Amino acid sequence: MDFAFSDEQLAFKEQVIKFAAREIVPRCAEHDLKSEFDRQAFRRLGEFGILGLHFPEELGGSGADVVTTVLAGEALGEAGVDGGLMLSYGAHTFLCADTIFAHGNDEQRRRYIPKLASGTLIGCMGLTEPGAGSDVAAMRTRAVLKGDRYVLNGSKIFITNGPVADVAVVYATVDPEAKHAGISAFIVERGTAGFSAGAPLHKMGVRSSQTSELFFDDCEIPQENLLGAEGGGFPMAMQTVEWDRSALMAPFVGGMSYALMKCARYAQERRQFGRPIAEFQAIKEKLAAMKIFLEAARGLVYRIAWCKDQGRPLNHLEAAVAKLFIGDWSLEPANAAMSLMGGYGYCHEYEMERMFRDGRLAPIGGGTSEIQKMIISKLM
Amino acid sequence: MDYDLSATESELVEKIKMLVADKNLPEPETLEKAGPGQIAPVLRAWLARLGDAGYLAEQAGPGRLAAQTELARRSSWIALAADIGARLLCDLISRHGSPEQKMFIDPILQGKSIAAVAASEPLSGSVPKTLETQARKDGPGFLLSGSKSTVSLAPMADVIGVLGRIGERTALFLIDGTQAGVEFGERLDTLGYKELCTCPLELRDVRLEPERVVGPFDPSEVDLLQELRASWDRALTGVACGTMRLCLDQARASADVKRTHAKPPAGYQSVRFALAEMLTLSQTAELLALRAAWAAATGDRGAASLALCAKVFATENAGKLADKALQIMAAAGYSQPNPVERAFRNAHLGTIMGNTSQVARMDIADDVLQKVGEA
């Protein structure tokens, strides 16, 4: 076994941390408080190469491996980038762009990937519906082929980047009776007649990411916007799980690292009863709880990334374990961090309050902890 | 980066898997109420086979940890007893002993000798200068006197490594359990790990030749007690991983076969979810422990803190898994003898021995605070 990152990977991580701390992080608090998507920051992520890191150079990417891509996500979290922007980045790059890259034809790749990689276009994915979340087979959004065009009808909910996206990868069924085998994936562009996004939902956390419903009302799209084959959508959606459990989880891990350092600095500076609170054992226990969680979580994320780099099919059991652990077991150290910072932790003006709210998404988004337990108990 | 065990590492794991399945080896799990005279032959048989398999001599690292996990899954006390000699004592001798003193190592690593380590004293736990066990010069050798409060394997041991002082300096004294002046106290009625026959040890002017004294050392330069705690931590981490697997095995088996209200427990979502949580903690602990073992073996700069994280996480969650398994097994889990009830009692040693969970957490936090201070 060898758990070492290469020198190049570590150097790149440092570059990302410095870049984000300089250009992204100073903008995060304001956008979180206003619940505004930060287009400028998103564009800077694209210019720096983060949005298209793992795509080939000829498509505007950097050809990075999965571990390096995940490392960049951890680095953004470690720099202190807010969960909202990280979520927007994840939905854009891994749920939308990567699905087009992995399953699209050459024309679709050439048309969308370079612009998604640069941040010129913003992407989203439409899968969840009011009556179909993890139960994908219950999907009701229909796609009917009429001549050379598909007509989409239905709605999606909880779609990250919904209100700001230029391109959506949308899942709809061409045959409800066929259940999973009827689900197909389509590329839908902003401005297409019959396609609209709802108003941004007011969320507890990850506020700088915009989340909304998507509506399809006799929305006609060209037949060539079908991704892959008809009925091939379910495996595509499942393949995003690999990214979801590694690249989308990495910022949570990086965020915990940032919170730990922030709490440690605070504990050294804050004085009570004539000495820094870092000297109290109760405070040290909270720092230790965060550190232990951090180290335990880190390995799970990179195991999935490394396996993907080896070209192995996703181990769904290991993926669910990673999601469940990072989601559920992050709550206690997050709570410890809040308590450690006392009143300062509870105020909007200090980042811990935001991180606490953002982190609460971990056991919910991308399949709740309960769904992970169902998967694990079925596969074990 | 490579998250797979190497071929060599896998080979050792496979050897241990075959060994624990060997029906010719005596059953190790029914000896809690037996005396040292009955336990010792069983332990010797297992140590001999572990020595033959190369397990005892294997350097610390992910392969050794994975193999230890398999061994502890079968029998945690055998795994712990093996490490008391092969890791705790041999590591101290190999690091600090003279070339001649390293002759004490070979029989232990070959599985021909049972070893014990005596450190804790009635009034001293972890600080070298408070050790009251003292050796004084007597001709060419030394006379060693003192009291040790809890010495596992002592009544069965061929060699006992005793930590004590010569003046202000600390040393490791290698004594023979049959020597004059060595007296074992009454076996302690411990909560778990009864097979280790833990007992107090009294030393009264035990005569030692110079070659049986490793050291002495200035405790500010060589902290034998701290090294010993770190070795305990590594041993207990691997044993905890095996305990978690054992509890999961037992809970799953019970959940599948027992019938409650016309269906097996696994038919209920709450039981299935409990099993899922157990597997999650078990896999996470193993991965963290493997990474910590790798970091220690490669001299990674964060190795010490990572090892403490792994120890706390694995040992505390071993207890939690034992508790969950016992709950799933219900009355069957609460009854003796059964491996989960034993694991429930044994697991508590993990959070107490070596660096206690509380001490480990302080050290982990101190490391974080130091890094922030350096930044």
Structure confidence at residue B125 (pLDDT): 64
Contact status of A279 with chain B (Cβ, < 8 Å)? no
CB contact under 8 A, B5 and A1: yes
CB contact under 8 A, B310 and A291: no
pLDDT band, residue B141 (cuts 50/70/90): very high
Q: Which of B202, B239, B219, B211 is nearest to B88 (CA)?
A: B239
Spatial distance between the Cα atoms of B36 and B25, rounded to a whole number of angstroms:
18
Instruction: For residue A299, give the nearest of B4, B288, B375 by CB distance.
Output: B288
Dig out the tokens for A330 from the structure. Answer: 């992050």
User: How far apart, in Å, do the first and last CA atoms of chain B sit?
Assistant: 27
CB contact under 8 A, B3 and A268: no
More confident residue, A208 or B258: A208
For residue B104, which amino acid is it?
Answer: F
Structure confidence at residue A304 (pLDDT): 92
Mutate to test the interface with B, among A280, A377, A379 (most CBs of B within 10 A): A377
Q: How far is B102 from chain A (nearest CA, A)?
A: 29
Mutate to test the interface with A, among B2, B3, B286 (most CBs of A within 10 A): B3
Q: Which of B294, B355, B351, B353 is nearest to B65 (CA)?
A: B294
A:4-23 residues touching chain B, CB 8 A cutoff: 4-6
Express each pLDDT in B332-349 by its tens digit.
899 888 999 999 999 999
Helix, strand or coil, per DSSP, at residue B332 = helix
Spatial distance between the Cα atoms of A220 and B146, rounded to a whole number of angstroms:
89
Instruction: For residue B3, give the nearest of A303, A317, A373 by CB distance.
Output: A303
For residue A361, which amino acid is it?
Answer: L
CB contact under 8 A, B365 and A288: yes
Contact status of B277 with chain A (Cβ, < 8 Å)? yes
Spatial distance between the Cα atoms of B203 and B215, rounded to a whole number of angstroms:
19
Phi-psi region of B362 (alpha: psi -120 to 50; beta: other; left: phi over 0): alpha
Instruction: For residue A265, give the nearest of B9, B290, B372 by CB distance.
Output: B372
A128-132, A275-279, B205-209, B269-273: the lowest-pLDDT one:
A128-132
Average pLDDT over residues B293-299: 96
φ and ψ of A361, to 5 deg: -75, -25
Percent of residues in chain B assigned helix, strand, coil, to nearest 5: 55, 15, 25
Note down pLDDT in tens along chain A; length 380 residues: 999 999 999 999 999 999 999 999 999 999 999 999 999 999 999 999 999 999 999 999 999 999 999 999 999 999 999 999 999 999 999 999 999 999 999 999 999 999 999 999 999 999 999 877 767 788 999 999 999 999 999 999 999 999 999 999 999 999 999 989 999 999 999 999 999 999 999 999 999 999 999 999 999 999 999 999 999 999 998 888 778 877 889 999 999 999 999 999 999 999 999 999 999 999 999 999 999 999 999 999 999 999 999 999 888 899 999 999 999 999 999 999 999 999 999 998 889 999 999 999 999 988 899 999 999 999 99
CB contact under 8 A, A2 and B277: no
pLDDT band, residue B260 (cuts 50/70/90): low
Q: In Å, what is the CA distance from A10 to each residue of A13, A341, B168?
A: 5, 30, 45
Q: How far is A228 from chain B (nearest CA, A)?
A: 32
Comparing alpha-carbon positions, the chain A residue that sits nearest to B4 is A1
Q: In Å, what is the CA distance from A53 to each residue of B17, B141, B295, B346?
A: 42, 68, 29, 49
CB contact under 8 A, A3 and B252: no
Cα A161-A162-A166 angle, rounded to 5 deg? 85
Mutate to test the interface with A, among B364, B367, B371 (most CBs of A within 10 A): B364
pLDDT band, residue B129 (cuts 50/70/90): confident
Q: How far is B314 from chain A (nearest CA, A)?
A: 10
CB contact under 8 A, A321 and B368: no
A308-317, A369-378, B124-133, B358-367: the lowest-pLDDT one:
B124-133
Contact A278, B369 (CB under 8 A): yes
Instruction: For residue A5, give the nearest of B1, B298, B371 by CB distance.
Output: B1
Spatial distance between the Cα atoms of A355 and A139, rounded to a whole number of angstroms:
33
Comparing alpha-carbon positions, the chain A residue that sits nearest to B312 is A292
Respond yes or no on whether the N-terminal peptide bond of residue B337 is cis (omega within 30° of 0).
yes
Residues of chain A found within 8 Å of residue B366, distances taken between Cβ atoms? 284
Q: Which of A221, A213, A191 is nearest to A108 (CA)?
A: A221
Structure confidence at residue B259 (pLDDT): 66
Contact A171, A137 (CB under 8 A): no
Structure confidence at residue B258 (pLDDT): 67
Q: β-pairing, B199-208 with B182-184?
A: antiparallel
Comparing alpha-carbon positions, the chain B residue that sits nearest to A310 is B2
pLDDT of B274 > 80? The answer is yes
For residue B174, which amino acid is it?
Answer: L
Q: How far is B218 from chain A (nearest CA, A)?
A: 28
H or E stretch covering A210? none
Prediction ipTM score: 0.94
- DSSP designation for B187: P
Instruction: For residue B9, give the nearest of A1, A5, A300 by CB distance.
Output: A1
